[in-house]
Amino acid sequence: MFLKRFSSTSAWTLPQTIRQILSSGQQPPSKIHVHGWVKSVRRQKNVTFAVINDGSCVSGLQAVLTHNSNPTLHALTNGASVRMTGSIVASRGSGQAKELQVDSVEVLGECNPETYPIQKQALSVEYLRDHAHLRPRTDANASMLRLRSSLLRSLHDFFERHDFCYAHTPILTSSDCEGAGETFRVTPSSTPSPSHQSPAGSPPPDPHSEFFSHPAYLTVSSQLHLEALAASLARVYTLSPCFRAEPSQTNRHLAEFWMLEAEWAWTRGVDDVCGLVEACAKHALGAGGDERALLTKGIAGHEERLRSLEAAAGSESWARMTYTEAIAELEKYHASSDAKARPFVFEPKWGQGLQSEHEKWLSEVLIKGPVFVTDYPSSVKPFYMRMNDDERTVACFDLLVPYVGELVGGSLREERLDALKKRMSTHALDPEGEEYGWYVDLRRFGSAPHGGFGMGFERLVSWVSGIENVRECIAMPRWAKRMLL
């Protein structure tokens, strides 16, 4: 009989990771196998201490090796991949509760210390960016990756608890949403490799034909699609890659980034959407404690920064102010200064968008914490935001946080058919056209008042970790002129 039968799923199990071994309250079996990469080695006369880590936690596991039993000690170098067999015992040294008393070592993958690019000494940010495939092997990058994972789980957890449906919106889209200049265009590759040519006789594919019948772009935001889903499921969210073909080189922008977006039907107040965002962000602030401790330790002014995060997490409620109030404060501060030493490069002025310098001042200086700025002039915001009764401002908000600036943007969406059509006409958009006709339809049949928001995930990582540049907040960053791997 050719079918091999073997153990059932209930008996199926994975070996423990180092994190599980260290955090378990139970006594592990008398002899265990532990896999990891060597993080450091300290040789003494009769004994060698090595820290190995499998990437499951910050600390790693201290392994104690006696020399006679281990003929391969010379291959225990930084970065080597090993399998150690031994027993977990209470540590006699300080710094760890448990350690591994090693009986035998197998070096599965050697690592030549002469040529290994990841050395123990501090490596520059630029050097590590150039070695994108090895960067995850640094403690800081690995911690950032685990922090991302914790944050993701915390966000999914939050939305599940509040009965939101987790949806996937399309990455390829026919609308170029925020202006074609910033989007990427998608076409089939025009040069098939020889082994993939069409059958003999048929003409080669025309690279300029439209694969999807009409032009395709990479999404810049899932919002409009999410609104179509919210018109059936009421509460939906997504965590989706988004793309901007922005040539700008700032520490807050990537060409490919991840965005959490949520839409919520039957909300009628911007304050309610802010409440949702605040609860969600506070929930996320509880994630990944060990990793954050390691990451924030490395940065300048980390104590102040940690205090700021703790204050935000513990604050009973985050400050809210209208755009009009914010402009008044900015103007007052700008005017109070010496004309030669004006604090802002751009003069704050009602009717203009807020500049980064204004946003920073509002959250870092005026409020000293997160602040929701609401009700911006309709002229600086997109067509889909709900018009307020004053007919000058829209029911929207930005959440500004210290060190990062804009973390979240959101609004009520215009759910009134006539009001939406009016806004579209002032933006020269066709309410009956192919591009937005479907969006208008959502208001034509059973329209529900609704609102939503988008949170830049790498900015959230930056905020909670203290990592200043979003290029260090994602595994393999892409920005203008830069795409490794």
- Range 223-282, binding a second copy (CB under 8 A): 224-225, 228-229, 231-235, 241, 243, 245, 247, 255-256, 258, 265-266, 271, 275-276, 278-279, 282
CA–CA gap between residue 212 and residue 172 (Å, rounded) = 10
Q: Taking the alpha carbons of 378, 382, 384, 385 in that order, is the dihedral positive or negative?
A: negative
Residue 152 structure tokens: 């993701």
Per-residue x/- mask for a second copy, residues 307 to 326, rule CB under 8 A? ---------xx-xxxx--x-
475 binds a second copy (CB under 8 A): yes
Binding mask 401-440 for a second copy (x = CB under 8 A): --------------x----------------------xx-
Q: Does 170 bind a second copy (CB under 8 A)?
A: yes
Site for a second copy contains 167 (CB under 8 A): yes
Question: In 3D, which of 246, 264, 263 has the Cα closest to residue 255?
Answer: 246
- Closer to a second copy by Cβ: residue 239 or 385: 239
Q: Is 81 in the site for a second copy (CB under 8 A)?
A: yes
Nearer to a second copy, 322 or 356 (CB): 322
Alpha-carbon gap, residue 224 to 283, rounded angstroms: 26
Burial of 405 (0-12, 13-18, 19+ CB in 10 A): buried
Return the sign of the alpha-carbon dihedral for residues 301, 303, 135, 401: negative
As given in the structure block, the two tokens for residue 478 are 């892409």
Q: Which of 24, 66, 197, 379 binds a second copy (CB under 8 A)?
A: 197
Number of residues that bind a second copy (CB under 8 A): 144
Least distance to a second copy, CB of residue 299, Å: 21
Q: Is 134 in the site for a second copy (CB under 8 A)?
A: yes
Maximum CA extent, the chain: 91
| Separation in Å, CA 78 to CA 101, 359, 371 | 19, 44, 45
Stretch that binds a second copy, among 61-69, 90-98, 149-157, 392-400 (CB under 8 A): 149-157
Residue 152 binds a second copy (CB under 8 A): yes
| Alpha helix segments (H runs only) across 241-381 | 270-284, 289-297, 302-314, 323-336, 356-360
Question: Is position 73 an interface residue for a second copy (rule: CB under 8 A)?
Answer: no
User: Is residue 120 a contact point for a second copy (CB under 8 A)?
Assistant: no
Q: Which of 56, 62, 308, 465 binds a second copy (CB under 8 A)?
A: 56
DSSP state string for 78-138: TT-EEEEEEEEEE-SSSS-SEEEEEEEEEEEE---TTT-S--SS---HHHHHHTTTTGGGS
Cα–Cα distance between 60 and 64 in angstroms, integer? Answer: 13
Please enumerate in sequence order all residues whose Cβ is within 8 A of that of 126, keeping only pairs 6 or more positions apart, or say none: none
179 binds a second copy per the rule CB under 8 A: yes
Least gap, CB of 475 to a second copy (angstroms): 6
**Cβ neighbours of residue 242 closer than 8 Å, sequence gap 6 or more:** 218, 219, 220, 221, 222, 256, 257, 258, 259
The answer to whether 352 and 343 are in contact (CB under 8 A) is no
Q: Give the span between the Cα atoms of 140 and 296, in whole angstroms.
A: 10
Nearest to 271 by CA among 354, 374, 366: 374
Examine residue 29 and tell whether it contacts a second copy (CB under 8 A).
Answer: no
32 binds a second copy (CB under 8 A): no
Stretch that binds a second copy, among 40-48, 103-111, 336-344, 354-362 (CB under 8 A): 103-111
Among 9, 44, 46, 336, binds a second copy (CB under 8 A): 9
Residue 22 found at the interface with a second copy (CB under 8 A): no
Range in contact with a second copy (rule: CB under 8 A) among 121-129, 174-182, 336-344, 356-364: 174-182
Please report, as residue ranges, which positions from 365 to 384 form the binding site for a second copy (by CB under 8 A): 367
- DSSP helix/strand/coil, 289: helix
Query: Is 74 an interacting residue with respect to a second copy (CB under 8 A)?
Result: no
- Which range, of 163-171, 349-357, 401-409, 418-426, touches a second copy by CB under 8 A? 163-171
Using DSSP's 3-state secondary structure scheme, residue 226 falls into: helix
- Counting other chains too, the contacts that 313-316 makes at CB distance below 8 Å and 24 or more residues apart are 313/282, 313/285, 313/286, 315/369, 315/370
Q: Closest separation between CB of residue 69 and a second copy, Å?
A: 22
Where does this chain touch a second copy (CB under 8 A) — which range of 183-191, 297-305, 346-354, 396-404? Answer: 183-191
Is there binding between residue 119 and a second copy (CB under 8 A)? no
Length of the chain: 485
Contact segment (CB under 8 A) with a second copy among 15-23, 86-94, 352-360, 402-410 equals: 15-23
Q: Determine if 330 is a binding residue for a second copy (CB under 8 A).
A: no
| 182 touches a second copy by CB under 8 A | yes
Q: Which stretch binds a second copy (CB under 8 A): 157-165, 292-300, 343-351, 379-387?
A: 157-165
Instruction: Determine, following the binding rule CB under 8 A, whether residue 54 of this chain makes contact with a second copy.
Output: yes
